[in-house]
Amino acid sequence: MLNRHGADQWIPATLVVTPVIAACAWLAVGGEPGWWLPAGVCTIALLGFIAFFRDPPRSAPREADGCMLSPADGHVSAVFSQAQHDAVDGPATVVRIFLSVLDVHVNRVPWDGEVLSRAHRPGRYLDVRTPHSAHVNESVLLSLRAAGGQRYGVRLVSGAIARRIVCTLRPGDRATRGARMGLIKFGSTTELIVPADSEVLVREGDRVVGAVTALARLRA
What are 216's strand-pairing partners? 68, 200
- Distances in Å between the alpha carbon of 139 and those of 7, 18, 117, 126, 163? 22, 34, 14, 12, 10
Q: With CA atoms as reference, report the closest residue to 118 among 41, 194, 181.
A: 181
Q: With CA atoms as reference, report the closest residue to 185 among 3, 60, 44.
A: 3
Contact between 163 and 157 under an 8 Å Cβ cutoff? The reply is no
Contact between 110 and 215 under an 8 Å Cβ cutoff? The reply is yes
Q: With CA atoms as reference, report the closest residue to 125 among 167, 185, 50.
A: 185
Catalytic residue among 77, 139, 188, 198: 188
Active site residue 158: no
Contacts of 8 (CB under 8 A, 6+ apart): none
What are 184's strand-pairing partners? 165
DSSP assignment, residue 70? P
Contact between 189 and 99 under an 8 Å Cβ cutoff? The reply is yes
CA-to-CA distance for 126 and 124, rounded, in angstroms? 6
Catalytic residue numbers, as ranges: 188
